[in-house]
Structure 1
Amino acid sequence: MTSENDSAPEEKPDDLARHATKMAKKKAARDKIMAGKSGEKGLIIVHTGSGKGKSSSGFGMILRCIAHEMPCAVVQFIKGAWDTGERRLLTTHFGDLCQFYAMGEGFTWETQDRERDVAAAKAGWEKAKELIRNPEIRMVLLDEINIALRYDYLDRDEVLAFLRDEKPEMTHVVLTGRNAAPELIELADLVTEMGQIKHPFRSGIKGQAGVEF
């Protein structure tokens, strides 16, 4: 056990000098890398995987856009029936910068009506295309669209072709949800797979406000 009187070993001058030299080399290498990265473009960004955080990360990007006063938009393909914290926050406080469309009616096992799910997904996609085509909107978050694609609620080839051929050059599009299609991963500029190591559901703990929604 460490007592409050214990302290970390005092750094020797040679150790401090070695650390400074090491960090200077790291900075020089990093500066060299950054010097060659001057271009900008609108990115296709995919958040997928079995772990938690896909939508949360997407909404984090939306909040960054708002902080930079960049117009943005959200289309929710599955969770539209949920009263989520992010929906409350964005629609109540940032409606002037962020358009928010909750198009889904819940997960497919909740609606138990494929025709209704397909119709909701298609309506969401039409709204998404309208928003993406607007060059004034700098980022569009397509929340849980990967699930809609997985269940064939949307035509995958149409979605890929639109993102490839019609997305304005400087518009970022973020697509979230498990099981992203390999073709979408290939098309994307940035792909992050969220891995699951441990989840409270397995211990009998339900989803909670502020964590899950």
Structure 2
Amino acid sequence: MREDQNARHTEKMKKIKAARDRMMATKSGDKGLIIVHTGPGKGKSSSGFGMILRCIAHGMPCAVVQFIKGNWITGEAELIRGRFQQECRFFVSGEGFTWETQDRERDIAAARKGWEIAKEQILDPEIRFVLLDEINIALRYDYLDIDEVVEFLLNEKPDMTHVCLTGRNAKPELIEAADLVTEMTLVKHPFRDGVKAQKGVEF
């Protein structure tokens, strides 16, 4: 009985591999991707920083521009600034979540400053991957012009530079322009049960 199952499994995997090999044979191009992580669920920034660690591991120079979370002491900032300064540039432009600053003009100025830094990093020929963490929040509140951001990504971003933009409520224009979009879906969250944000999980 077990031998029959193994034989059927082997035949099934052979067919899958053959189909996969045929599909992969049609994929030969490389390009710098516009990547969007959005949605109400957790994991958007975490996934972006996972990609930053991959870049570091592969020796790909990279940069982070962090919007909104300005006054948080996050694990990712501590790690990158403390141990990987040469491999990854880290910039913070926000002063905190919008409900903390309560000053739209300051928030707009911080977002604009972050966007100028972001453009410099994206255009730098040494940088291969740029993470724009929580930029979607700045776009959602119109601190930045979505048309300007999309036009830059489509027409000025170097062909082989990857850019990842995170944050919930990504605008339709950005989703349309992106090559890869992932929506994190909220199924369950401990905050609803009175559990606060915790080190190593949220920050």
Give TM-score scaled by structure 1 length.
0.94
Question: What aligned pairs does 1:132-171 form with structure 2 within 5 A after superposition?
Answer: 132-171=122-161
Give ranges in structure 2 of 5+ residues lacking alignment.
none
Q: Which residue of 2 aligns with 1:96?
A: 86
Q: What is the CA–CA distance in structure 2 between the aligned matches of 1:84 and 1:92, rounded to whole Å?
A: 12
2:63 maps to 73
Distance 2:176 2:125 in 1: 24
1:52 — aligned with what? Answer: 42
> Letter of the aligned partner of 1:204 in structure 2?
G
AA partner of residue 26 (structure 1): I
Percent identity between the two aligned chains: 73
Structure-2 residue corresponding to 1:211: 201
**How far apart, in 1, do the equivalents of 2:110 and 2:132 lie?**
14
Any idea what SS the aligned residue of 2:152 has?
helix
| 2:172 alignment partner, one of 182, 196, 206 | 182
Once the two structures are superposed, the pairs formed by residues 100-139 of structure 1 within 5 Å of their partners are: 100-139=90-129
Q: What amino acid is the match of 1:149? A: L
Distance in 2 separating the partners of 1:42 and 1:162: 14
* CA shift digits 1:179-199 (9 cap, x unpaired): 000010000000000000000
After TM superposition, give the deviation of residue 155 of structure 1 in Å.
Answer: 1.0
Could you say what secondary structure the match of 1:174 adopts? strand
What is the CA–CA distance in structure 1 between the aligned matches of 2:31 and 2:11, rounded to whole Å? 35
Q: CA deviation at 1:14?
A: 1.4
Task: Determine helix, strand or coil for the equivalent of 1:15.
Answer: helix
In the alignment, residue 20 of structure 1 is paired with which amino acid? T
> Over residues 111-148 of structure 1, what are the superposed CA-to-partner deviations in whole Å (9 max), with x where a residue is unaligned?
00111100000000000000001121000000000000
* SS, match of residue 79 in structure 1: coil
> For the residues of structure 2 that align with 1:147 and 1:12, how far apart are their CA atoms?
54
What residue is the counterpart of 1:42 in the other structure? 32
Q: Which runs of 5+ in 1 are unaligned?
A: 1-10
**SS at 1:45's partner residue?**
strand
Aligned partner letter, 1:15: Q
Q: Note the aligned Cα RMSD (angstroms).
A: 0.7
Tell me how many residue pairs correspond in the alignment. Answer: 203
> Which of the two has higher C-alpha Rg?
1
Q: Match of 1:113, as an amino acid?
A: D
Distance 1:13 1:165 in 2: 57
For residues 104 and 2 of structure 2, the distance between their equivalents in structure 1, rounded to whole angstroms, comes to: 69
